[in-house]
Structure 1
Amino acid sequence: MQLNQPTITSSGSLRPTHVEVNLDCLCQNLKAIREKTSPAKVMIILKANAYGHGMDAVARHLAPHADYIGVAVLEEGILLREMGIGAPILVLGGIWEEQIPDFIKHDLTLTASSVERLQQIDRAAERLRKKAIVHLKIDTGMERIGVHYYNAHTLQEAALGCKNVVTEGIYSHFANSDADDLSHARLQLARFNETLHFYEKHSLPTPPLRHIANSGAILQLPEATFDMVRPGILLYGVYPSDEVQRTVVVTPALSWSSKVVYFKVTQPKHPVSYGSTWQSDAETRVVTIPVGYGDGYFRAMSNKAQVIIRGVKVPQVGRICMDQMVVNLGADGSGYNGDEVILIGQQADQRITAEDLARWAGTIPYEILTNINTRVPRVYTP
């Protein structure tokens, strides 16, 4: 099975647009998260091509240091198993009955989000003569998958009656643990704790892995740590929001760069790119960069984005095209064919972050990172 693999390979020279991922940086981020949340286990979230960083290389590098792996869909879990990853893997998303045998055959942990699904898992495991590992999903205020907290006892009771299922964990998910106002997050936490009281009330052992803390909660809700935490974007060195408390120091692992492919002098009142949305009032120098929205550099950033060339931030002008975009160096600007162009990262004392791109695009850094197309090669260091 192939999933999110590069779509272009060549024995020759590729275009210079590429992403660089510092694997040691990922390890240092994981170490910082462990220090913050110890003795809890850490589930590293590798969904969506490891947040755009490349699942294959990231998984191989981090899996030996992780207690658990989290993915979104069955296909991601199977891919990891086919890579030889032996760590426990929880598929966090919803499932269909016909998928259940594949979960069990590949030793993937299932999310049991309803009594019906749980019973289907139990029957499938019986047919396969194997034990299925499940984590019960409780909806404490997200309104996605999961049994509502006020009906959680129905799922918990059903799990007790399943002979072919091992209930290893119980979990929920915060809607806004990265916000400045944590009132809703604390309400969700209270509901989760209320759900856990079921086991004490009935003198039953609690599932060994209770977890609810995502990146925001790791940073500012230490009381939500429980037995395991689930860092997603924080693992990759990006904070989940501007307002979140930065109680763990992490470093972005991903940089994105290209090179100038064309230089020209543009005359006054000569519109640039599709739609003629930008023109200079005076003669100016512009360069073309071989990157566009087909690579995941959002068209919504047109006439807003900046890049770094020769240590100077310069504006992108005109509409961003599918495969190219134009940058204005100004009348006296410097930049020529072959010069490095920083899209995300640092050059000299100037830096551009995924958060910057998100602001220009009117979105969040999660979307920026996960939308870097697989035709953009990933290069890994050290």
Structure 2
Amino acid sequence: MSEPFDQRPTRIRVDLDALTHNLGRIRAHAGVPVLGVVKANAYGHGLVPVARHLARQGIDQLGVAFVEEGMELRRAGITTPILVMGGIFGPQVAQFIVHDLEITVSSLDKLRQVEAAAQSLGRQATIHLKIDTGMERIGVHSYSAAPFIEAAVASRWCRLKGIYSHLACADDPASPMTLEQLDRFLDACAHITRIGAPMPVRHLANSGGVLHFPQTHLDMVRPGILLYGVLPDPASIPAIDVRPALSLVSQVVYFKVVRAGHPVSYGATWAPAADTRVVTVPIGYGDGFPRALSSRGQVLVRGQRRQLVGRVCMDQFMVDLGPAGTAYNEDEVVLVGSQQGEAIRAEDLARLAGTIPYEILTGLNQRIPREYRGG
């Protein structure tokens, strides 16, 4: 007999074949190795299952944000090279080395911390240097990176594998900042040639860079949201044929007729002008479905777009079928995905919620069961 969690009507479906398709299209488009970003629970798709599938597809590298994510992948038996892209915390440095995780070194002080930990363990650390070309988040400024680069090249306890920066505006193909950042990054990398050292792997392109700026592809690309078939920004140009890998579905659990003027949900913010039919769907902001979609979001029921009405609750929301709409208990409700030729994308929810698709996907939490198809 199935556990109740397995029977929950709300679930995320992940199409592994779509991930395979997207990876293939990105490889063909970029023509260089690919680092697949799987941080934040693989953008809501499931960290270990997605990373394991990408490893089976021969992805060159995986990228996470925190050492804990990298450790989880290692415990799952994944041996693909893993770069931890976030800023490092001194007491955790030894864990990077013990678990064979590649370290983002973002300052001379951080380099010394990594060297000390590696020496104490008697093992070399593999590092990537982070150059700040305009993001002002972490990394040594490109215009003052020479001493930092020289120290990394000379280090006995660190193997310099990569050097990288992050693009702030590449989601917008019209932004001039991306090419400015590219110039700053290449200027910093040129110092490696000047001192006669071998050039490490240069990587700069995120999803926007992959789509819009082939000059940024360099030696490796780092697609994140694009790998999952979602465009990073409304201004993005769909230069690659990618397919959404995630669907979010639920089922009707209650049907009622609401009389004209009778408000629905908390705060009594919405009431129908005429008698209407309303169904309840068992998912809410407690699952990461945005409360900002109250009386704004849409779902698919029997192939028809239907409006969310009233405020999204922690565990449920209500949908207006109209005075003549029909649905039965256990009918499928599609929140993200397709049904009978209609489709709702993560980008659509983001627009209605006044946010970005990254937040929609990564906000879907572990209370929602995930099932994997294909692959």
TM-score class, shorter-chain normalisation, is over 0.9
Say which of 179, 190, 198 aligns to 1:186.
Answer: 179
Q: Distance in 2 between matches of 1:345 and 1:217?
A: 26
TM-score after normalising by structure 1: 0.96
1:122-137 correspondence runs (5 A)? 122-137=115-130
Residue 319 of structure 1 aligns with an amino acid whose one-letter code is R
Instruction: Determine which of 8, 17, 39 is the counterpart of 1:15.
Output: 8
Distance, in Å, in 2 between the alignment partners of 1:14 and 1:80 is 27
* SS across alignment from 1:41: coil
Q: Indicate if the aligned counterparts of 1:119 and 1:162 stay in contact, CA closer than 8 A.
A: no
**Given residue 333 of structure 1, which amino acid in structure 2 is its aligned partner?**
G
Structure 2 unpaired stretches of 5+: none
Give the residue type in structure 1 aligned to 2:185.
Answer: F
Q: Does 1:98 align with 2:64?
A: no
Q: Which amino acid aligns with 1:240?
A: P
Distance 2:247 2:192 in 1: 47
Q: Does 1:152 align with 2:154?
A: no
8 A Cα contact 1:272 1:318, kept in partner: yes
**Counterpart residue type for residue 304 of structure 1:** R
Are 1:197 and 2:222 an aligned pair?
A: no
1:11 to partner: Cα distance: 5.9
Cα distance in 2 between the residues matched to 1:47 and 1:12: 25
Deviations along 1:225-278, one digit per CA (max 9) or x if unpaired, are 111100100000001111112211100000011000000111111110000000
User: After TM superposition, where is structure 1 displaced by more than 6 Å over at least 4 residues in a row?
Assistant: none
Distance 1:222 1:270, change over 3 A: same
Paired residue for 2:328? 336
Counterpart-to-counterpart distance in 2, 1:199 and 1:251: 39
Q: How far does residue 12 in structure 1 lie from its aligned partner after superposition?
A: 7.2
Aligned length: 372
Partner of 2:36: 44
Aligned-residue offset at 1:42: 0.5
Q: Which runs of 5+ in 1 are unaligned?
A: 1-8
Change (3 A) 1:260 1:83: same
Q: Are 1:82 and 2:83 an aligned pair?
A: no
Structure 1 range deviating more: 12-21 or 69-78:
12-21
In structure 2, the residue matched to 1:34 is 27
- Match of 2:145, SS? helix
2:292 is the alignment partner of 1:296: no
TM-score when scaled to structure 2? 0.97
* Inter-partner Cα distance in structure 2 for 1:378 and 1:239: 22
Task: Provide the identity percentage.
Answer: 52
Aligned mate of 1:54, from 41, 46, 55:
46
Secondary structure at 1:359 match in 2: helix
Cα–Cα, structure 1 residues 12 and 200, in superposed 2: closer, same or farther, change >3 Å? closer
**Residues 324-366 of structure 1, C-alpha deviations (whole Å, 9 max, x = no match):** 1110001111112111100000111211110111011110000
